[in-house]
Amino acid sequence: MTAALSASSLDVAPRLIGARVATTFDGDLVEIVIDEVEAYGGADDPASHAFSGRTERNEPMFGPPGMIYVYRSYGIHWCVNIVTGDIDEAQAVLIRGGRVVEGLDTVIARRGRSDHLADGPGKLTQALAIDGGHSGSMLGRGGVNLQLDERGLHRYVTAPRVGISKATEWPWRFIAAGT
């Protein structure tokens, strides 16, 4: 798995469209097919949390490919990223959204609703029960798993990233075509 993530965030991001991210906590399996992601570079990307260097908060971004970087957005929502590239490059892909394919009843209970279950980064982490305690863990360990789609790349469109104030025009958001 980590070999597939050992590339730039711009190369990995479109390959995550159609991948499945799954968690199993307290015996509850939830699986989501990813349909929207955003790529973040390291020192060369002014929108990246790693742009100004290493901090305690962003340390997982400097880890090996397959490490999970979780942060709180606006002090409210957890957001989950998959670290890509080489150690110390600080590249990552934010998982922005997807569709629940396993564990629907669990997700409805976690979200307290039956619609818009994982169509945003905060909703997705709530659906998967991912929080800051998972930051710094590796995929496949600690309850968070990723399975790339063996069939290859899915069709996608690109768009500018959202929810940022710098490099807003860069088309580093990847969205499954037809969603």
* DSSP 3-state of 35: strand
Whether 128 contacts 30, CB under 8 Å: yes
User: Between the CA of residue 133 and those of 7, 71, 130, what are the distances in Å?
Assistant: 26, 10, 8
- pLDDT per position as a tens digit, 160-174: 999 888 999 999 999
Structure tokens at 123: 């909703």
The answer to whether 124 and 115 are in contact (CB under 8 A) is no
What is the Cα Rg of the chain in Å?
15
pLDDT in tens, 79-128: 999 999 999 999 999 999 999 999 999 999 999 999 999 999 999 999 99
Predicted local distance difference test score (pLDDT) of residue 137: 96
pTM value is: 0.94
Quote the Cα angle for 68-74-77, to 5°.
50
